[in-house]
Amino acid sequence: MTNRDIAAVFDQVADLLEFQNANPFRVRAYRNGARKLKDLADPLSRLVADDADLTAIDGIGKDLAEKIATLVQTGSLPMLTELEQQVPASVLPMMRVPGLGPKKAAALYNDLKITSLDMLRAACEEGRVRELKGFGKKTEETILAGIALAERATDRIYWSAADEIVQELLAHLRPVKAIKQLEAAGSYRRGKETVGDIDLLADATDVDAVMDRLGEFPAVAEVIARGDTKMSVRLDSQLQVDLRVVPSESFGAALQYFTGSKEHNVEVRGRAKQQGLRVNEWGVFRTTDDGEQGERVAGATEDEVYAALGLPTFPPELREARGEFDLAEEGELPRLVEVGDLRGDLHMHTTATDGKATLREMIDAARDRGHEYIAITDHSKRVSMAGGLDADRLRAQWAEIDALRPDYDDIVVLKGIECDILESGEMDLPDEVLAEADWVIASLHYGQKQPREKIMQRLLFAVEHPSVSIIAHPTGRLINRRESYDLDVDQLIAAARQHGKLLELNANPARLDLDDSHCALAKRAGVPIVVSSDAHHTGGLDVLPYGVKQARRAGLTAADVANTLPWKQLKPLLATPASQLPG
């Protein structure tokens, strides 16, 4: 099990304990433990194998250490099994509804006998939820709006989580000598921000050997079906994995077909028909005079398949029938941005606020990853839960950066701040303080349910502010957990273009904000995007590939992403006068 898997178990234990009104200190121990394990760089599986002292991990006591060892060694936790037997499984999705949580889910279960999302929706629509103590009309409306999010959350997982599973599956299957080619397909390969299932495709000389090996994958809970060429399994997490084994001459056609999307493939088949060809998962074939499938003309590789239709090989991320065929007809497809194109990271936090690593640790980690420049951007004072910085503390941090700069001649460290846009519409710090910064990020963390007019007034004020360089996570959405606030993205993009400001694509897999469609709008408007990690610990710097994946889905090239630029070319894009900046 991965660190994230174990953390997820601890989170679920905490939810079930809280649902049962268990000792709050016990609940908190599991929640804190889960949070620590998510941030842990060392694999717990290796620590357990090395018989390391797990209690040396901050927040992990003897009890949790024993449970970690049990999970690593057996893949399950008896305590969780017992709790799941005590709480109806249908109640669990209710805890994922924004604004609900275990305590309120317990109240709904105990007082109204609600055991499913459908029953919860009906109770809200009938006005019965608002009558419970501690709820009210507004809470009822929030719950009703969040049910759709909770339903989606049970069906799909973050791309980042799917990637961990896919890499484990591929590593598990590759030792099979009969396998000649092995790829993941489907929405995972297209880089969609959430994934509903995993599609694997193999070219192998021994089908049974491949299927037997998949059945031995440690996380397999059930073999759903097994046929001559296809096998489906369900993992412990309830995620379904479909394996297809195809002959070499059809591998490319199958990879193209099962990568999708459906809409992209409809266009491909339509173009094939116009040329007297037929495309399916087995290959590209000429159509006979009587309309039947005739001679095979392609199929071994994707390049072959597309070339047979006079098309370029589309990057998987573009295969959504959102203009990629028009691009192909205009000439060569653009070279999409790659992780290696990024030269810096312009959004990260330290222990000065809610980060887990010191200023020097974050600089060293960024330098180790080859960054040419970074911005230290802790929260401003409005984010009191994170210990946000007031003017004095911020200036003290900037003085510390000034003192450290001589130690680093190979990386530019910008004195930055993530400054909240207050509910009133003003910035959270005085203008004279922001004017001293190298890099000012403006963001909304509070008042996200204000009317559109007010939200836009706040955002546009920030865009027009002379010291602000960029708007962070501009729509505020959290995937599967919170919808974006009510804003006019077109208006925001137009204002950013007018005032020469940048927009962020936050690479945190729970955000990926701006999303792919909004990034595409920004590209068309000529507004540069910055792909940032928003890291709160050194390991958080490694989320940038998720942001790049999203940028590729938007069709962004390196020229559309500002932090692909060398430092000297980036400087003119900043709001701060270049004379104040290092380098």
- CATH number of the CATH domain containing 463: 3.20.20.140
Closest Cα to residue 556, out of 531, 539, 583? 531
> What pLDDT does residue 154 have?
62
> What pLDDT does residue 152 have?
64
pLDDT level of residue 582 (50, 70, 90 thresholds): low
Closest Cα to residue 158, out of 480, 459, 426? 480
Q: Are residues 49 and 104 in the same domain?
A: yes
Q: Are residues 237 and 258 in the same domain?
A: no
- Omega before residue 120 within 30° of 0, cis: no
**pLDDT higher than threshold 90 for residue 65:** yes
> What pLDDT does residue 153 have?
59
Tokens encoding 383: 């984010």
Which string of DSSP letters, residue by residue, matches 127-153?
Answer: T-GGGSTT-HHHHHHHHHHHHHHHHHH
**By residue range, what is the domain housing residue 236?**
158-246
Distant-in-sequence, close-in-space partners of 376: CB < 8 Å, separation ≥ 6: 348, 350, 359, 362, 363, 397, 401, 413, 414, 415, 416
Q: Are residues 312 and 447 in the same domain?
A: no
Question: How confident is the model over 153-179, as pLDDT tens digits?
Answer: 567 889 999 999 999 999 999 999 999
- CATH number of the CATH domain containing 220: 3.30.460.10
Averaged over 197-209, what is the pLDDT? 97
> What pLDDT does residue 86 have?
87
Among 87-96, 222-231, 246-255, 285-294, which is the least confidently predicted range? Answer: 87-96
The Cβ-side half-sphere exposure at 444, using a 13 Å CA radius, reads 27
Question: How confident is the model over 283-339, as pLDDT tens digits?
Answer: 999 998 888 888 999 999 999 999 999 999 999 999 999 999 999 998 889 999 999
Q: Are residues 265 and 201 in the same domain?
A: no
Percent of all residues in the chain with a pLDDT value above 90, rounded to a whole number: 69
> What pLDDT does residue 397 have?
97
Question: How confident is the model over 256-272, as pLDDT tens digits?
Answer: 999 999 999 999 999 99
Higher pLDDT, 138 or 458: 458
Tokens encoding 455: 């939200």
Q: Are residues 559 and 412 in the same domain?
A: yes
Q: Are residues 420 and 550 in the same domain?
A: yes
Q: Strand (E) positions, 258-302?
A: 277-280, 283-287, 293-298
Do residues 470 and 346 lie in contact, with contact meaning Cβ atoms separated by under 8 Å?
yes
Rounded to whole angstroms, the Cα distance separating 495 from 476 reads 18
Rounded to whole angstroms, the Cα distance separating 224 from 408 reads 56
Q: Are residues 94 and 185 in the same domain?
A: no
Percent of all residues in the chain with a pLDDT value above 70, rounded to a whole number: 98
**What does residue 194 show for φ and ψ, rounded to 5 degrees?**
-130, 155
The mean pLDDT of the chain is: 92
**pLDDT higher than threshold 70 for residue 578:** no
Distances in Å between the Cα of 47 and the Cα atoms of 40, 168, 465 are 11, 18, 50
Among 107-116, 239-248, 292-301, which is the least confidently predicted range? Answer: 107-116
> What pLDDT does residue 583 have?
60
Tokens encoding 556: 């962004």
Among 44-53, 61-70, 92-101, 343-352, which is the least confidently predicted range? Answer: 92-101
Distant-in-sequence, close-in-space partners of 461: CB < 8 Å, separation ≥ 6: 421, 425, 426, 427
Bridging pattern class, strands 230-235 and 240-246:
antiparallel
Any idea what DSSP says for residue 557?
Answer: B
Do residues 544 and 345 lie in contact, with contact meaning Cβ atoms separated by under 8 Å?
yes
Rounded to whole angstroms, the Cα distance separating 558 from 143 reads 41
CA dihedral 349, 354, 355, 359 (to 10 degrees): 60
Any idea what DSSP says for residue 375?
Answer: E
> What pLDDT does residue 3 have?
82
> What pLDDT does residue 102 have?
86
Is the CA virtual torsion 16, 21, 27, 31 positive or negative?
A: positive
> What pLDDT does residue 94 have?
83
Q: Which pTM does this prediction carry? A: 0.81
Q: Are residues 230 and 300 in the same domain?
A: no
Calculate the CA 258 to chain-centre distance.
23
Q: Identify the domain boundary among 155, 189, 205.
A: 155
Averaged over 113-122, what is the pLDDT? 87
Q: Are residues 314 and 421 in the same domain?
A: no
In single-letter form, the type of residue at position 201 comes to L
- CATH number of the CATH domain containing 272: 3.30.210.10
pLDDT level of residue 442 (50, 70, 90 thresholds): very high
> What pLDDT does residue 326 have?
92
- CATH number of the CATH domain containing 113: 1.10.150.110
Rounded to whole angstroms, the Cα distance separating 151 from 20 reads 23
Rounded to whole angstroms, the Cα distance separating 279 from 273 reads 8
Q: Are residues 210 and 263 in the same domain?
A: no
Q: Identify the domain boundary among 155, 189, 204.
A: 155
Averaged over 566-575, what is the pLDDT? 88
Closest Cα to residue 491, out of 530, 532, 443, 452? 452
**pLDDT higher than threshold 60 for residue 520:** yes
Helices of type H across 59-125: 62-74, 78-86, 101-112, 117-125
Question: How confident is the model over 386-422, as pLDDT tens digits?
Answer: 899 999 999 999 999 999 999 999 999 999 999 999 9
> What pLDDT does residue 580 have?
62
> What pLDDT does residue 304 have?
96
Question: How confident is the model over 333-380, as pLDDT tens digits?
Answer: 999 999 999 999 999 999 999 998 999 999 999 999 999 999 999 999
CA dihedral 133, 135, 138, 140 (to 10 degrees): -120
Calculate the CA 539 to chain-centre distance.
15
Q: Identify the domain boundary among 330, 351, 374.
A: 330
Rounded to whole angstroms, the Cα distance separating 419 from 415 reads 13
**HEC letters along 214-238:** HHCCCCEEEEEEECCCEEEEEECCC
pLDDT level of residue 115 (50, 70, 90 thresholds): confident
**pLDDT higher than threshold 60 for residue 579:** no
Q: Are residues 116 and 137 in the same domain?
A: yes
Distant-in-sequence, close-in-space partners of 432: CB < 8 Å, separation ≥ 6: none
Domain count, the chain: 4
> What pLDDT does residue 164 have?
92
> What pLDDT does residue 92 have?
77
Q: Are residues 269 and 343 in the same domain?
A: no
